[in-house]
């Protein structure tokens, strides 16, 4: 087979991207789970684990740059490498949001819970599901699945506004809730950004497959 | 034929005796742009290039069908003078082939043959400047052309082609015999020349096609060993997202 070595290296970076996606998905899930259970240790773990995500992203980027420099990839190969690099960057940022949620959780410390968390875990479930699907769309080069991820971004946005309005009401009714409510708005905002970044990933998949940027 | 088109090829078939080397090519070549012809060995791209200024007339057994319209006139019409066509559509070859004469005479010779009656020194200087060679040779114009490096010789050949003020320049692998630095100098030159000339360049080096050309045409060889045009498109499109699977396979090196 022509360019066997290149083919192998191309597969390696894609496999690593899938691994990175799985690490990041777990980080987001754990950050919300720890927040909900008020588990400070688990939150700290999410923060500590972010280093591994950063390293993985850097490693993928280095490998992609090396492939571009040494193999002069063209057309579909070029789009694969660029997509992997761009998607790895998105994933690294999503990891940072999970880390941010971990830090908010630590900052909340032993403040009494403001309210049971309902919409925030829903946002998290949806955002991690979007992340899973955009990775699956990448693996299977599935533009229809990637498009469905884009559509779900609107749902996350709506949930975010709903959370925001609800917490604003809490704050107006009782200023002593401002600190706790603000923390939760930050969490919701981070999750909204997770969904945005995931949407970018799915758009990248569409470009990878078609060579065209989606509208 | 659109105004932007300088050469329009219609249904071109090329034969060497019974063997069909190029099959049914249609192509529009845009004015003042660089069109690169790429494809595997034996795909007929050089043969095709030579048809664009009737160089194939000089090859025994070569014959063509179809039309090559240059400024709306079929260059294969019986009343067309092939020499005149070749002075308007110049050619630069793979291996630098200066005449065994001085640098100056290499440029002046073609002008004399074409009955040039103006200021010869001025014309020589102008061509050498256009070919980005003047500064390197202005103090040694009477030295033999063979004292120049390979890259300089190739630029001299380009200067020689430019001297007769052609409209189109055909280049057949003009940098394949040169080192990387000399190659980049030729590529810079090609990019500069396209402001005044139309350039068609055959290259095996896909990076070169990507670097210098505005449009790229990909040729393939069929099962009957005839070459054919697979697709022609903007160079950016060909190298990021070609339309045809065959092009993708070739430029990503998965061609077998």
Position B177 confidence tier, pLDDT thresholds 50, 70, 90: confident
Please tell me the distance in Å from A9's CA to the nearest CA on chain B.
14
Instruction: Look at B251 and A74 and tell me if their CB atoms are within 8 Å.
Output: yes
Instruction: Look at B247 and A72 and tell me if their CB atoms are within 8 Å.
Output: no
Contact predicate A28/A193, CB 8 Å:
no
Position B1 confidence tier, pLDDT thresholds 50, 70, 90: low
Residue B90 belongs to some domain of the structure: yes
Position B60 confidence tier, pLDDT thresholds 50, 70, 90: confident
Instruction: Look at B240 and A72 and tell me if their CB atoms are within 8 Å.
Output: no
Beta strands in chain B (DSSP E): 5-16, 19-30, 34-38, 62-70, 73-74, 89-92, 168-172, 198-202, 215-221, 227-234
Instruction: Look at B241 and A75 and tell me if their CB atoms are within 8 Å.
Output: yes
Query: Would you call B174 an interface residue with chain A, using a CB distance cutoff of 8 Å?
Result: no
Token pair, residue B208, equals: 């070169």
Instruction: Look at B253 and A2 and tell me if their CB atoms are within 8 Å.
Output: yes
Q: From CA B163, how far away is CA B104, in angstroms rounded?
A: 11
Instruction: Look at A78 and B242 and tell me if their CB atoms are within 8 Å.
Output: no
Confidence (pLDDT) at B128: 95
Structural domains in chain B (count):
1
Mean pLDDT of B19-43: 95
CATH number where B62 lies: 3.40.50.300
Q: From CA B21, how far away is CA B46, in angstroms rounded?
A: 10
Interface test with B, best of A5, A10, A75 (most B CBs within 10 A): A75
Contact predicate B15/B63, CB 8 Å:
yes
Instruction: Look at A72 and B207 and tell me if their CB atoms are within 8 Å.
Output: yes
Long-range contacts of B7-10 (CB under 8 A, 24+ apart): B7/B52, B7/B68, B7/B69, B7/B70, B7/B89, B7/B168, B7/B198, B7/B200, B8/B67, B8/B68, B8/B69, B9/B51, B9/B52, B9/B66, B9/B67, B9/B68, B9/B69, B10/B66, B10/B67, B10/B68, B10/B69
In chain B, what are the helix, strand and coil shares in percent, each to the nearest 5? 35, 30, 35
- Smallest CA–CA distance from B251 into chain A, residue: A74
Mean pLDDT of B162-184: 91
Residue B54 belongs to some domain of the structure: yes
- Smallest CA–CA distance from A213 into chain B, residue: B241
User: Residues B214-236: pLDDT tens digits?
Assistant: 999 999 999 999 999 999 999 99
Taking Cα atoms as reference points, which of B232, B107, B96, B91 lies closest to residue B171?
B91
Residue B201 belongs to some domain of the structure: yes
Residue B119 belongs to some domain of the structure: no
Mean pLDDT of A27-54: 96
Instruction: Look at A75 and B256 and tell me if their CB atoms are within 8 Å.
Output: no
Contact predicate B219/B49, CB 8 Å:
no
Please tell me the distance in Å from B249's CA to the nearest CA on chain A.
9
User: Residues A101-153: pLDDT tens digits?
Assistant: 999 999 998 888 888 889 999 999 999 999 999 999 999 999 999 999 999 99
Token pair, residue B107, equals: 């440029």
User: Residues B182-202: pLDDT tens digits?
Assistant: 899 899 999 999 999 999 999
Instruction: Look at B252 and A79 and tell me if their CB atoms are within 8 Å.
Output: no
- Smallest CA–CA distance from A209 into chain B, residue: B241
Q: Is the pLDDT at A1 greater than 70, yes or no?
A: no
Q: From CA B113, how far away is CA B111, in angstroms rounded?
A: 5
Contact predicate B70/B38, CB 8 Å:
no
Query: Tokens 């006139």 identify what position?
Result: B73
Within chain A, residue ranges assigned H as helices are 4-37, 40-71, 75-108, 119-140, 143-173, 178-210
Cβ count within 10 A of residue A96: 19
Query: Would you call B240 an interface residue with chain A, using a CB distance cutoff of 8 Å?
Result: yes
Q: From CA B67, how far away is CA B59, in angstroms rounded?
A: 18
Query: Would you call A3 an interface residue with chain B, using a CB distance cutoff of 8 Å?
Result: yes
User: Residues B71-108: pLDDT tens digits?
Assistant: 999 999 999 999 899 999 999 998 899 999 999 999 99
Instruction: Look at A74 and B256 and tell me if their CB atoms are within 8 Å.
Output: no
Mean pLDDT of chain A: 95
Confidence (pLDDT) at B115: 86
Query: Would you call B256 an interface residue with chain A, using a CB distance cutoff of 8 Å?
Result: yes
Residue B203 belongs to some domain of the structure: yes
B255: chain A residues, CB-CB within 8 Å? 2
User: Residues A157-207: pLDDT tens digits?
Assistant: 999 999 999 999 999 999 999 999 999 999 999 999 999 999 999 999 999
Chain A, 27 to 86: residues with Cβ < 8 Å from chain B are: 72-79
Mean pLDDT of chain B: 93
B215: phi then psi, degrees, rounded to nearest 5: -125, 150
Please tell me the distance in Å from B65's CA to the nearest CA on chain A.
34
Confidence (pLDDT) at B256: 59
Residue B136 belongs to some domain of the structure: no
Taking Cα atoms as reference points, which of A110, A113, A122 lies closest to residue A159?
A122
Residue B140 belongs to some domain of the structure: no
- Smallest CA–CA distance from A82 into chain B, residue: B240
Taking Cα atoms as reference points, which of A128, A75, A73 lies closest to residue A98?
A128
Instruction: Write out the residue range of the structural domain in which residue B85 sits.
Output: 5-98+168-251
Confidence (pLDDT) at B255: 74
Please tell me the distance in Å from B135's CA to the nearest CA on chain A.
34
SS3 B33: coil
The domains of chain A, with CATH numbers, are 4-210 (1.20.58.220)
Interface test with A, best of B211, B253, B255, B256 (most A CBs within 10 A): B253
**A47 contacts: CB under 8 Å, gap ≥ 6:** A99, A102, A103, A106
Residue B214 belongs to some domain of the structure: yes
Query: Would you call B253 an interface residue with chain A, using a CB distance cutoff of 8 Å?
Result: yes
Instruction: Look at A74 and B241 and tell me if their CB atoms are within 8 Å.
Output: no
């Amino acid at each position: 087979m022509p360019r066997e070595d290149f083919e192998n290296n191309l597969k390696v970076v894609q496999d690593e991207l899938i691994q990175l996606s799985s690490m990041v998905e777990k980080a987001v899930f754990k950050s919300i789970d720890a927040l909900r259970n008020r588990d400070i240790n688990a939150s700290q773990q999410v923060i500590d684990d972010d280093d591994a995500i950063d390293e993985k992203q850097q490693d993928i980027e280095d490998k992609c740059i090396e492939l571009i420099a040494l193999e002069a990839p063209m057309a579909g190969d070029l789009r694969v490498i660029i997509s992997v690099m761009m998607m790895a960057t998105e994933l690294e940022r999503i990891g940072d949001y999970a880390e941010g949620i971990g830090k908010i959780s630590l900052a909340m410390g032993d403040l009494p819970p403001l309210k049971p968390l309902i919409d925030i875990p829903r946002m998290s479930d949806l955002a991690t599901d979007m992340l899973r699907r955009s990775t699956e769309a990448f693996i299977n080069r599935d533009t229809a699945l990637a498009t469905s991820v884009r559509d779900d971004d609107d749902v996350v946005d709506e949930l975010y506004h709903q959370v925001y309005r609800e917490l604003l009401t809490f704050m107006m009714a009782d200023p002593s809730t401002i600190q706790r409510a603000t923390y939760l708005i930050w969490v919701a905002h981070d999750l909204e950004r997770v969904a945005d970044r995931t949407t970018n990933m799915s758009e990248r998949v569409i470009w990878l497959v078609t060579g065209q940027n989606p509208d | 034929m659109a105004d932007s088109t300088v050469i329009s090829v219609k249904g071109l078939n090329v034969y060497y005796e019974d063997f069909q080397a190029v099959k049914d090519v249609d192509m529009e070549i845009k004015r003042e742009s660089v069109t690169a012809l790429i494809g595997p060995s034996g795909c007929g791209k050089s043969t095709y290039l030579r048809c664009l200024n009737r160089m194939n007339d000089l090859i025994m057994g070569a014959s063509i069908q179809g039309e090559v319209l240059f400024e709306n006139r079929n260059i294969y019409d019986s009343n067309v003078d092939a020499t005149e066509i070749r002075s308007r559509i110049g050619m630069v070859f793979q291996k630098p082939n200066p005449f065994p004469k001085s640098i100056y005479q290499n440029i002046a010779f073609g002008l004399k043959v074409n009955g040039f009656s103006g200021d010869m020194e001025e014309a020589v200087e102008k061509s050498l400047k256009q070919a980005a060679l003047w500064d390197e040779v202005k103090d040694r114009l009477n030295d033999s052309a063979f004292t120049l490096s390979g890259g300089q010789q190739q630029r001299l050949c380009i200067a020689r082609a430019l001297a007769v003020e052609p409209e189109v320049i055909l280049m057949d692998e003009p940098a394949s015999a040169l080192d990387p630095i000399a190659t980049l100098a030729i590529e810079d030159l090609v990019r500069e020349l396209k402001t005044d000339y139309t350039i068609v360049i055959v290259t095996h080096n896909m990076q070169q096609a990507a670097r210098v050309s505005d449009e790229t045409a990909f040729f393939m060889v069929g099962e009957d060993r005839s070459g054919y045009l697979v697709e022609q498109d903007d160079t950016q499109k060909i190298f990021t997202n070609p339309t045809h699977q065959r092009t993708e396979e070739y430029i990503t090196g998965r061609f077998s």
